Amino acid sequence: MEDNVIYSIDKSEVISDKPREVSFQQLMEITNNFEQKLGSGTFGVVYKGVLNDGPVNRVIAVKKLHSTTEQIDDKQFKNEFELLRVLKHQNIVQLVGFCNETEKVTANYEGRIVVAEEIHRALCLEFVPNGSLGKFLSEQCHELNWNLRFKIIKGICEGLKYLHDFPINHLDLKPDNILLDDKMAPKIADFGISRLMGAENTVKTQTFLGTLGYIPPEFIKKQIISREYDIFSLGVIIRKILTIVMDDQNIVSMDGQECIEYVHSYWEKELQGVPGYASPEADCKQVRACIEIAVVCMDEDRLNRPTMKYIVHKLNKLELKENDSLSPIEQK
């Protein structure tokens, strides 16, 4: 299948809350003239804003793309907008509104005053107050809090399953693109390079995608995109959630089974050592299953990686503390 980006989705039945179109003047009012910066990236800057949403004021995040025509990526904006407007899930960041406006401004060009066009494009997103998973892991890396880690893993998996059911490939899944709400529920964000896939699962591209460390070997070697791309990235994320607390750089070089035993042994020792810990046996079973999932998700052969349907099924059973004798690659 040829490299092909799709910018519209014929799934209008899932659109319940139509995103609001706002002018650039309204954006300046919402953000108090772009006063409070939340973060920045390749394509723009994110600001905190307050949107008058009926009887209440709603805090939002405004992702303002760079305004010069040389920097702005029209396809990236359209792609993210078209995807976000149809995605409605508790583990996906929600689109609230957008700005797509061209303003005529005067500018000095080689000593002459000329009229130029300035493009204003922005996405208004729900505000997710606890920042990124990357920030959480760096700040809480020595805290055990297994139940919270399991909740985050499960939420990421449910959000990714929802995407793959469309089917949409995220293609840049990493801790910095996963946000945590006020209850620490994860929300997948940043869909600028994501793709809606057709009947074919596999696409070849000449465009570099993703972030080093989260890119699967088949993309590095052959530029292959498939849903297994995201599965590999997920495996790296789960492994990081489990192992960052261990502060051991050797884990990355361990083979699959060695990694599983090492991680499980560490958590078993730590949880059993906590006085009065309520459920060390059940939680250690969850730890083992999660690191097993992570390892098989990172299999060199993409066809050996599990589907999101299987992963979510397994995690649901673990949450109920039930026995689960299935191997990590069954129900593919």
Q: Provide DSSP, 233-275.
A: HHHHHHHHHHHGGG--GGGGGS-HHHHHHHHHHHHHHHHHTST
Whether 330 maps to a domain, the answer reads no
In whole angstroms, give the CA distance from residue 261 to residue 295: 11
- Kindly report the CATH number assigned to the domain that includes residue 204: 1.10.510.10
Same domain, 98 and 206: no
* The domain boundary residue, chosen from 69, 98, 126: 126
In whole angstroms, give the CA distance from residue 286 to residue 282: 7
pLDDT of residue 191: 93
Q: How far is CA 31 from CA 36, 38, 119, 180, 321, in A?
A: 7, 11, 18, 21, 46
pLDDT of residue 322: 44
pLDDT of residue 329: 42
Same domain, 117 and 172: no
In whole angstroms, give the CA distance from residue 280 to residue 271: 6
- Other beta carbons within 10 Å of 60: 22
In whole angstroms, give the CA distance from residue 100 to residue 98: 7
Closest residue by Cα to residue 175 from 251, 98, 258, 233: 233
The region, left, alpha or beta by phi > 0 then psi within -120 to 50, assigned to residue 34 is left
Whether 65 maps to a domain, the answer reads yes
Whether 325 maps to a domain, the answer reads no
Low-confidence residues of the chain, pLDDT below 50?
1-16, 69-72, 322-332
Closest residue by Cα to residue 187 from 149, 162, 159: 159
Burial class (CB in 10 A: 0-12, 13-18, 19+), 186: buried
Contact yes or no for 202/186 (Cβ under 8 A): no
pLDDT of residue 42: 66
In whole angstroms, give the CA distance from residue 229 to residue 232: 5
Same domain, 180 and 279: yes
Same domain, 39 and 180: no
In whole angstroms, give the CA distance from residue 61 to residue 59: 7
pLDDT of residue 324: 42
- Map tokens 């958590």 to a residue: 267
Cross-strand partners of 103: 118
DSSP alpha helices (H): ranges in the chain?
Answer: 24-30, 74-84, 133-139, 146-165, 217-222, 227-243, 256-272, 280-297, 308-319
Whether 173 maps to a domain, the answer reads yes
* The domain boundary residue, chosen from 100, 126, 152: 126
Structure pTM?
0.87
In whole angstroms, give the CA distance from residue 161 to residue 293: 14
Same domain, 200 and 54: no
Residue 44: which domain range? 12-126
Binding residues: 64
- Kindly report the CATH number assigned to the domain that includes residue 31: 3.30.200.20
Same domain, 39 and 82: yes
* The domain boundary residue, chosen from 72, 97, 126: 126
In whole angstroms, give the CA distance from residue 130 to residue 149: 15
Binding residues for ATP: 64
Whether 287 maps to a domain, the answer reads yes
Same domain, 151 and 116: no
Same domain, 97 and 222: no
Closest residue by Cα to residue 239 from 228, 229, 226, 249: 249
Whether 4 maps to a domain, the answer reads no
pLDDT of residue 6: 37
Which one-letter DSSP state was computed for residue 330? Answer: S
In whole angstroms, give the CA distance from residue 37 to residue 49: 10
CA 143 to centroid of chain Cα atoms: 23
Whether 296 maps to a domain, the answer reads yes
The residues annotated as belonging to the active site are: 172
Token representation of residue 80: 């993210």
Whether 183 maps to a domain, the answer reads yes
Beta strand ranges found along 54-191 (DSSP E): 56-65, 95-109, 112-126, 168-169, 178-180, 186-188
